[in-house]
Copies of this chain bind each other. A is one copy, B any other.
Amino acid sequence: MPKSPEQYDDIRKQKKQLIMNTALELFAENGYHTTSISQIASKAKISKGLTYNYFKSKSEILNELMEHGFNEIYDNLDINHDGILTEEEFIFFIKENFRILRENMHHWKLFFSLLLQPQVSATFAAQYEEKAGPIFNLFFGFIKSRGSKNPESDLMAISSMLEGAFLYCVAAPDVFPMDKLEEAVINSCFKIIRG
């Protein structure tokens, strides 16, 4: 029985997603360069050739992965409201970040590793800035609204602390217990702002 165009489309979408999920896992765990198309294909239980039916090249898988990943992550953050954070929203925001981190460990691991090798994906840096910019602004607004004496300085400290905490979670999850770390970070944010 021939399939309808819609069914074909569905299959395509599922297969593509399967390839991307598999690739993400392997890239994150073993690195982009140490992962071969063969490994991806065999883990996804498809043929090597089929991969090229969905992606022009290995690096295109990476590109799409990054793009999707950014969207998945930042869309969930839902920062498109009035642009002013209340204290609860700020806390919620950080907690959300940790939650998303835990749920997308693979993506984050890959993100961080690409951060250190920008030549892999030329478009990566640009995307990152585009996404990260509004968040900096949001934070900056919150810090100022809380009466910080030096909001620029506090933004740097808080951003660093969050970034560092995320790095610990992803790269050395056994050094600090994750929930304690989360709590420590949140508390410290307020200590920093308060002065």
Q: Interface on A for B, CB 8 Å cutoff?
A: 29-31, 33-34, 109, 112-113, 115-117, 119-120, 150, 152-154, 156-157, 159-168, 170-172, 176, 180-181, 183-185, 187-188, 191-192, 194-195
Contact = CB atoms under 8 A, between A and B. Distances in A.
A192 B164 CA distance: 15
A195 B191 contact: yes
Contacts of A184: 150, 152-154, 156-157, 160
B157 A160 contact: no
A81 to B, nearest CB: 25
A42 to B, nearest CB: 14
Contact of A34 (B119, B152, B161): B119
A172 B31 contact: no
Contact of A161 (B31, B152, B157): B157
A181 B195 contact: no
